[in-house]
Amino acid sequence: MKRSKMTELGVGLFMLAGILGLVFLGLRVSGMTLQPPGDTFRLEANFANIGGLKSRARVTMAGVTVGRVSSIELDADWYDARVIMELQGDLEGRLSRDTSAAILTAGLLGEQYIGLYVGGDPETLANGDTLRDTQSAIVLEELIQQFVSNIVSE
């Protein structure tokens, strides 16, 4: 009987360790937060070219991550890309209407993310609003092509 108690203890510890491991993977490795997901608001922005931006990319403000890209789709009216972002709820009503968005690259070859720059308009953005002022991704190949053709034409 005593041995079976030890077995039960061992199995219990084993399963507990497994569950703790999963929690560790969730929090530490995939960076999940325990915040309730309802605490966000939605903004949209149209870009002429998103380059290599992917959904779940970071949205930053002054370098601080304030949200994530939730989806990217083609806007068939303008033939450009509509990017939908989820931002921290406490920023709702605090970003000016003329806030601009740019697609930036982390390092020379790193991942792409969105940077937000606040303007001076006294009116503020609400849930579901669209950012007007956007700056597309810099596509390295196009840059190089321009550079080369400039040299040739000179």
Partner 1 sequence: MITRIMSLGRRGCDLLEALGRAGIFVAQSAVGMPSREGLLLWVRQMHFVGVLSLAIVLVSGLFIGMVLALQGYTLLVDFGAEQALGQMVALSLLRELAPVVAALLFAGRAGSALTAEIGLMKATEQLSSMEMIGVDPLRRVVAPRLWAGFVSLPLLTIGFSVVGIYGGYLVGVEWLGVFEGSYWGNMQSSVEFVGDIGNGMIKSLVFAVVVTWIAVFQGYDLIPTSEGISRATTRTVVYSSLAVLGLDFVLTAIMFGGLA
Which parts of this chain interact with partner 1 (CB under 8 A)? 4, 7-8, 10-11, 14-15, 17-18, 21-22, 24-26, 28-32, 56, 58, 109, 111
Least distance CB 102 / partner 1 (angstroms) = 19
> Containing H/E element for 146?
helix 140-153
47 contacts 136 by C-beta, under 8 angstroms: yes
Nearer to partner 1, 47 or 113 (CB): 113
Least distance CB 110 / partner 1 (angstroms) = 8
Nearer to partner 1, 28 or 94 (CB): 28
85 contacts 43 by C-beta, under 8 angstroms: yes
Q: Is 13 helix (H, G, I), strand (E, B) or coil?
A: helix
Least distance CB 26 / partner 1 (angstroms) = 6
Query: 86 - beta bridge partners?
Result: 42, 68
Look at residues 110, 90, 8 and name the one whose alpha carbon lies nearest to residue 41. 90
Least distance CB 27 / partner 1 (angstroms) = 9
Nearer to partner 1, 4 or 150 (CB): 4
Nearer to partner 1, 27 or 148 (CB): 27
Residues contacting 5, CB < 8 A, separation 6+? none
